[in-house]
Structure 1
Amino acid sequence: MRPNNDRRSGVEDPEDEPRLERFRDSHPSRIGVGRAGSRPRTETLLEFRLDHAKARDAVTTHVSDDLVADLDLVSVRSRAESKTEFLAEPSRGRDISEETAERIREDCAMEPQVQIVVSDGLSSTAVETNVPELLPVLRDGLADRGLDVGTPIFVEYGRVDVMDAIGAELGADCCVNLVGERPGLATNESLSAYFVADPERGGATSEKSVISNIHRNGIPPVEAGAEIAAVLEELCEAERNGCDTGDP
């Protein structure tokens, strides 16, 4: 649903205004906003610039240390040393250093059935908005299923495949990475959950399953937490039996 679906259409004297409003409210595209001569209306332009600024902020800002502490996550960093390096050299966000590997082996539970990873990815806003609601539901769902869950980890400057390096170092059966997705003008809050069984360093992203579009106007974070727990149960069962589950 459109975040601003309470606004009326900017089109003057539409032929079928109720139908136009239903169309506008059915998806996030900027349609029916009207024009002032050959240009967008001032309101439309200002909203566009605001959404663009929010998208840029989601990429360039950082997940707060207080949130990481409140969620009881072990905080580490990928091989990227800065946000600039993370954006310019994606491969550095997919791996961890030997120093980091040694630290997680010391501070985290070894050989869990499920290893939870949270990564800022391309949207710190997505992590801060969704993970506080999603993570408790996920933890409870995994506990109810009797699955052994490792020590949850937060990765600064982390991309999807950093889960492979972490899972391999800890000997996890399965991993899930809750990662902020590239923001757009419709939302800067979209989170995805990527899954892999028997993680190996350097594994391809294409080999992973995913639940995407987790945000208040997509899959609500509480609902997503329950769904992720169910997928991980299937993935762990398939891993024990040597099966391929395919996409969730």
Structure 2
Amino acid sequence: MAWLPTASPRRALALNRVAVTPGGDRLVLCDGHRLIATDAALTRALAAAAVPQEHADVSGPIFADDDLLVTAGNHGGLTLWRLDELGLEPVARRDTVRLSELFAVPEWGVVGGKAGSEARIHFFDPANGLAPVAGPAAVVGDGGRLKAVMTAPNGRYVVYSGRLDAGEPIGRRSFAWLTRIHDLHHPGAILQNPLGALAAPQLDALSHATAASFQQRDLFRLACTLGCRP
């Protein structure tokens, strides 16, 4: 860890919390009291910031997109940080109960965390000052039925568990614990988005998707054509 210009070797070893940008090109390392942004190869420090004393010792961190980072305070509260050429700066704060196990789904525009004191998952909108929002309909609308959510750093896979069928009609209702995986590059997931808002990874996944019929193939091609329009 000698590449950290201001850290002693002993202190550097404490940087054991890592966030990866969805693009995979940058990291943020954290020891609970400071944040250090680096390139993915750990060869160059890009920015550093001290965590406000009232927010330390922070957990997380997690990237909400390539430029926005979220941390959770040890006594509650979330802080939104912006990473750009000017450095790493806090841009918003939201008072919350103590949250752990932070996660982010950039494609859905949400971040979240588990409130152990309430046995539920909370969701927030990083584009709106971390305002509380309902859980994505693609997962489950009621955060009280969710007990755990995990996401891949690139935002493609969402793994979630809980009593997911507790709100179903009586004939299908179940209080069993279930775990499901949502693939955001599956054609069915991609086509739920406005075609004009599809990003390059989604268009690439759609163009390489295997069609079960000629109709599906034509639908995928049409969606790619419309999605590529300027």
Query: Which TM-score bucket, shorter chain as reference?
Result: under 0.3
Structure with greater helix percent: 1
- How does the TM-score come out when normalised to structure 2? 0.26
Query: Which structure has more strand as a fraction of its residues?
Result: 2
TM-score (norm 1): 0.24
